[in-house]
Amino acid sequence: LTILGIESSCDDTAAAILRQPVEGPAEILASVVYGQTDLHAPYGGVVPEIAARAHAEKIDLSIEEALVTSGVTLKEVDAIAVTSGPGLIGGVISGVMCAKGLSASLGVPVIGVNHLAGHALTPRLTDQVAFPYLMLLVSGGHCQFLIAHSAEKFTRLGGTIDDAPGEAFDKTARLLGLPQPGGPAVQAEATKGDPKRFRFPRPLLDRPGCDMSFSGLKTALLRQRDALIAEQGGLTLQDRADLCAGFQAAVVDVLAEKTRRALALYLADAPSEPLLAVAGGVAANTAIRAALETVCAQNNVTFTAPPLALCTDNAAMIAYAGLEKYVAGQIDDMSLAARPRWPLDQTAPALLGSGK
Ligand code: ATP
Ligand code: FE
């Protein structure tokens, strides 16, 4: 079974070819990603209009490249999986239209995939993980705990009510004159700093549940930075390192404690092979990873994180989520529509900042 995956919901245009042999795990034959970071950089954020145009320009090219790299011809493609939401409407429409066109001309099914399901199912592609497992998605755009019961059923235990951690790292870097993306830069500074010198809040730890908040950390940082500037006219390198260390320690503490709580909820159902998978760009942070590994070890839970290229946006995860739907007989037709908002857990209450 050979699946073509297409992803264009945010600021990456991606195509991938996935093959499921008769026996054994699925193989990624090609995974092509065209990022748009440079196009959006002058504006300090993703501009939907620019993103839509760039997707329309790059989508054919990325598919062609995936075919050439994999040595697979269009005739050999058995199904087309495409992100049909959630995301920026212009990009999602580009992908869905392209997939429907190919589906009609090749006479193969089209499968609409939820972008978040793509992220959440990645541990099954990379490690053949068994359901149910606990998933922490932590990136520049989202932050949530999900229990994956099956390829279609996810329970959302909680998530950020404002900024995602990656966003907080990026803003911190900006406030301190460090380069973007902020995560790696702040992490590098933090290793040289004293996490205890400045006080940072641990938002929402005093409240039950798994919801998180990160926007207050940026406010705390701004206040302490401005106090230093008022006092001494600027920041020393040590001040900057200490601020980064304090900020990162707060993020680590919040994620570790909320993971403890999410694990307790997940373990209450006594899963036979308990596992926590973490995905998203922020999963690259070594301090966060170490803290999560410790929490898992304390609870006899296996910890896993897909390789970074499959943690950030890509089309291999979309092809894989499509494969799971295909196997379950869930295929779409020409009525497949783009859904800019599409929560994975339809039963969870809609929360500000968590609609992705
Ligand atoms: P999404 O895919 O969720 O819509 P995104 O494309 O912004 O959002 P990713 O590409 O998964 O997210 O991750 C990028 C984010 O990860 C950036 O905010 C970046 O600062 C952060 N990041 C990368 N490396 C690190 C690190 N070592 N520590 C902390 N954050 C990091
Ligand atoms: Fe994503």
Tell whether the model's pLDDT for residue 353 goes beyond 50.
no
Q: Which ligand is nearest to the CA of 141?
A: 1
Tell whether the model's pLDDT for residue 355 goes beyond 50.
no
Please tell me the distance between residue 141's alpha carbon and the centre of ligand 2 in angstroms.
7
Burial grade of 99 (CB within 10 A; 0-12, 13-18, 19 or more): buried
H or E segment to which residue 290 belongs:
helix 286-298
15-52: pLDDT as tens digits: 999 999 999 999 999 999 999 888 988 887 788 889 99
Mean pLDDT of the chain: 94
pLDDT tier, 350 (very low <50, low <70, confident <90, very high otherwise):
low
Task: Write the DSSP string, 142-164.
Answer: -EEEEEESSSS-EEEEEEBSS--
pLDDT at 29: 98
Atom 4, ligand 1: residue with shortest CA distance:
141
- For residue 271, whether the previous peptide bond is cis, meaning omega lies within 30 degrees of 0, is no
pLDDT at 349: 58
276-332: pLDDT as tens digits: 999 988 999 999 999 999 999 999 999 999 998 998 899 999 999 999 999 999 999
Q: Annotation-wise, does 234 bind a ligand?
A: no
ipTM of this predicted complex?
Answer: 0.97
For the segment 160-170, the average pLDDT, to the nearest whole number, is: 95
The tokens for 47 are 């501009």
Please tell me the distance between residue 139's alpha carbon and the centre of ligand 1 in angstroms.
4
pLDDT at 354: 40
H or E segment to which residue 27 belongs:
strand 27-35
Cα radius of gyration (the chain)? 21
The tokens for 180 are 């973007």
Question: What pTM was computed for the model?
Answer: 0.91
Task: Write the DSSP string, 294-315.
Answer: HHHHHTT-EEE---HHHHSS-S
207-258: pLDDT as tens digits: 999 999 999 999 999 999 999 999 999 999 999 999 999 999 999 999 999 9
Task: Report the C-alpha gap between 328 and 331 in whole angstroms.
Answer: 9
Task: Report the C-alpha gap between 100 and 89 in whole angstroms.
Answer: 16
Please tell me the distance between residue 115's alpha carbon and the centre of ligand 2 in angstroms.
7
pLDDT tier, 347 (very low <50, low <70, confident <90, very high otherwise):
confident
Would you tell me the crossing angle of helices 316-327 and 115-127 to the nearest 10 degrees?
90
Tell whether the model's pLDDT for residue 337 goes beyond 50.
yes
The tokens for 207 are 């409240």
Q: Which atom of ligand 1 is nearest to the CA of 184?
A: 27
Under 8 Å between Cβ of 221 and 243: yes
Under 8 Å between Cβ of 258 and 212: yes
pLDDT at 37: 83
Q: Annotation-wise, does 140 bind a ligand?
A: yes
Please tell me the distance between residue 329's alpha carbon and the centre of ligand 1 in angstroms.
34
Q: Annotation-wise, does 85 bind a ligand?
A: no
pLDDT tier, 348 (very low <50, low <70, confident <90, very high otherwise):
low
pLDDT at 306: 92
